[in-house]
Each structure stands twice: as structure tokens, then as C-alpha cells.
Amino acid sequence: MLKGKYLNRITEVNKIFIDKIVKDGDTVVDATMGNGYDTVYLAKIVGNNGKVYSFDVQEEAIKSTRKKIEKEELNDFVTLILDGHQNIDKYVKEEVSCILFNLGYLPRAKHQVITKPNTTLMAIEKSLELLKPNGIISIAMYTGHEGGMDERNYVCEYLNKLDQNYYNVLHMEFTNQINNPPELILVEKKG
């Protein structure tokens, strides 16, 4: 299949923004670790002057991510947390410049543990508090699985009402793709 340069996948689109916003030395959060690709990606940007907190409720996610960060020698400043992102405030006590959410289920995992509307929203609310001025929350949303559309609607309903005096909310979608393409929401806290 032919490929574009930047817009093939929602995660690639996301990186256009994250690359610009996240800086060496920043503290950041991967709210949905999964196989750890975003954790490694963020760790490489913030470097060992920075800090990455990464959450998942599945032991398998921690194991596969731990392997990657050890191989890349990133483990000194990356903290892997086996707990739900709704408890983010128990672990992250400082302001952060970026919090990434990649919702839905982990591809190829044995058990399909999915993110859920209530806990996702709780995590987003707490993330807004932790975000420093000009920081960003990025949420990749998937609607193809059962419950995905409900979660997407729940998240949108909340974010669409955020006070524009304090936040910029940008919602992106592939308008010409078939089969429930993923969507991306970015929330910037105004400085």
C-alpha cells in the first residue's frame, strides 16, 4: 500500500505535536503503557535529566516494557507502575508537560483488557490538574471495539465543555478512512 509521510497513523500525527512540545529534562506520563513504544519514545526525548511515569493494569505490559527500557538503558528515569491511570495522583506529585493516553485494548494480548469510560475520565480530570502551563494531554481513541464508541463519546462530552479561557481542545479524525478510524484529541493548558 502507498504511504504518506506523516499522516498514516494517528500515533504518527501525535508525534508531530509531541516532538515540538516535550523537551529534554521534562517530566511526562504514559497513561497507557501497552507494549511500551510510547514510553520508550518519551524517555528518549526527556533524557536522563527528565522523568517518565508509565501506567498499565496488565503485568504483561510491564514485562514487555521493562525489557525495552533495559535494552535501551532508560531504566534510571523511567518508572513503570502496575496500577490504573485513575490513581495517577498517588504516584505523580510534580507538574508534567505531557500525558499520553492510547485507549482501547492491547493488540495481540491474550485477555482483552480495555480502558473504560469512568476510569479514563477520572484519569483525564486528574491529568488536567497535573499539567503545567503549555503542557499537553494527548488522547488516541478507538471506536471499533465494543464499548469504544461509548468511551469516545464520554471523553468528548467532557472535553468539549472545558473552559476555553483555560484550555485549547483540538479534535482530529481521518475523514476518508473506512472501518472506524482512530481519532486524536489534544488538550493544551493555557499559560
Applying CB under 6 A, which residues contact ligand SAH? Answer: 32, 34, 55-58, 61, 84-86, 102, 104, 106-107, 113, 115, 119, 142
Buried b (16+ CB within 10 A) or exposed e, 128-162: bebbeeebbbbbbbbbeeeebeebbebbbebbeee
Distance CA 112, CA 167 (A): 33
The nearest distance, CB 113 to ligand SAH, in angstroms, is 4
Q: Closer to ligand SAH at the Cβ: 13 or 61? A: 61
Report CA-CA distances (Å) from 26 to 45, 51, 132: 9, 7, 11
Q: Closer to ligand SAH at the Cβ: 26 or 38? A: 38
Report CA-CA distances (Å) from 46 to 53, 103, 123, 171: 12, 23, 22, 26
The nearest distance, CB 15 to ligand SAH, in angstroms, is 14
Q: Closer to ligand SAH at the Cβ: 90 or 190? A: 90
The nearest distance, CB 176 to ligand SAH, in angstroms, is 20
In this structure, the chain runs to a length of: 191
The nearest distance, CB 151 to ligand SAH, in angstroms, is 11
Q: Closer to ligand SAH at the Cβ: 48 or 180? A: 180
Question: CB under 8 Å to 3, separation ≥6 — which residues?
Answer: none
Which residues lie across from 54 on neighbouring strands? 30, 80
The nearest distance, CB 159 to ligand SAH, in angstroms, is 18
Q: Closer to ligand SAH at the Cβ: 59 or 163? A: 59
Three cell numbers written together for 146: 465494543
Distance CA 188, CA 191 (A): 9
Q: Closer to ligand SAH at the Cβ: 57 or 162? A: 57
SS3 6: coil
The nearest distance, CB 109 to ligand SAH, in angstroms, is 7
